[in-house]
């Protein structure tokens, strides 16, 4: 633990984490029991995530959600057991493990929510910026900002940077869904998004444009 002074609660959390590690790394019956206990916790986390999102998936039935929860817990268990040596004791073991179950469930649900849906075309995304530009019509500086921004998105970015920026930042396509469609990874696409944003900020600055909106009417 990294806390400068450890409280009894820190110590008991550390001891509990140590117990998990020992039992899961051990052989025999105590490992089987710990694996069963861990799976039950991961299943609880997966069900929590599914409950939060089930309203967005009206075409699925109760049994489908339970299957998803079981699959998410199974996949998370495999990931946790394979990565035990990466647990650094900087949180409770259970908090560290829960994130795998929540991620597995979230990724599956985001993909299901987008199953059969086309990722919107670039042209459709311009409506977001067009609406912003139209709102900004009354303020010359804001209107210029959005107009130049659109020009830079169209002409200043690489095709991949533009594709990712438009999908994720303007069309709310989840980055892991886009990664699956493009045969890439979440990390690689986020790097493209990050580079695109940096390029746009630099381009706006080069053209002498402030990056924020005109605050005139809020004064």
Partner 1 sequence: MSDQSKKRDAADALARVLGLEEPELSCEECFAQLDRYVELSLAGERADREVPSMRAHLEGCPACAEDFRSLRDFVTDESTNT
> Nearer to partner 1 by C-beta: 32 or 210?
210
Tokens at residue 109, please?
């649900």
**What gap in Å lies between CA 75 and CA 150, rounded to an integer?**
42
Closest CA to 193 of 219, 215, 170, 217: 170
Distances (CA, A) of 145 to 97, 129, 213: 45, 11, 8
Q: What residue ranges in 55-197 does DSSP mark as E strands?
A: none
The answer to the question of residue 38 lying near partner 1 (CB under 8 A) is no
**What gap in Å lies between CA 100 and CA 180, rounded to an integer?**
19
3-state class (DSSP) for residue 175: helix
With tokens 């980055």, the residue in question is 175
> Which one of 39, 111, 160, 191 is in contact with partner 1 (CB under 8 A)?
191
> Which one of 60, 112, 113, 170 is in contact with partner 1 (CB under 8 A)?
170
The answer to the question of residue 19 lying near partner 1 (CB under 8 A) is no
Residue 117, Ramachandran bin (φ over 0: left; ψ between -120 and 50: alpha; else beta): beta
> Nearer to partner 1 by C-beta: 33 or 135?
135
> Which one of 57, 81, 119, 129 is in contact with partner 1 (CB under 8 A)?
129
- Shortest gap between Cβ of 29 and partner 1 (angstroms)? 25
With tokens 């069963």, the residue in question is 36
> Which one of 31, 39, 54, 99 is in contact with partner 1 (CB under 8 A)?
99
- Part in contact with partner 1 (CB under 8 A); list of ranges 24-32, 63-71, 116-124, 182-190: 182-190
Residues that bind partner 1 (CB under 8 A): 2, 45, 48-49, 52, 86, 90-92, 94-96, 98-99, 102-103, 106, 110, 128-129, 131-132, 135-136, 142, 145-146, 149, 153, 165, 168-170, 172, 174-176, 186-187, 190-191, 193-194, 197, 200-201, 204, 211-213, 217
């Amino acid at each position: 633990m990294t806390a400068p002074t450890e409280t009894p609660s820190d110590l008991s959390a550390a001891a509990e984490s140590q117990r998990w590690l020992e039992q899961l790394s051990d052989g025999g019956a105590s490992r089987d029991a710990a694996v069963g206990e861990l799976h039950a916790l991961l299943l609880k986390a997966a069900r929590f995530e599914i409950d939060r999102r089930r309203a967005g998936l009206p075409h699925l039935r109760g049994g489908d959600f339970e299957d998803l929860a079981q699959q998410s817990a199974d996949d998370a268990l495999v990931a946790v057991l394979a990565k035990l040596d990466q647990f650094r004791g900087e949180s409770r073991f259970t908090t560290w493990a829960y994130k795998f179950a929540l991620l597995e469930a979230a990724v599956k649900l985001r993909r299901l929510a987008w199953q059969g849906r086309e990722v919107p075309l670039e042209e459709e995304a311009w409506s977001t910026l067009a609406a912003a530009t139209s709102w900004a019509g009354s303020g010359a500086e804001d209107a210029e900002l959005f107009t130049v921004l659109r020009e830079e998105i169209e002409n200043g970015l690489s095709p991949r940077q533009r594709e990712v920026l438009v999908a994720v930042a303007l069309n709310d396509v989840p980055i892991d869904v886009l990664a699956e469609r493009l045969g890439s990874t979440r990390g690689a696409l986020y790097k493209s998004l990050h580079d695109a944003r940096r390029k746009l900020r630099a381009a706006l600055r080069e053209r002498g444009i402030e990056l924020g909106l005109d605050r005139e009417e809020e004064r």
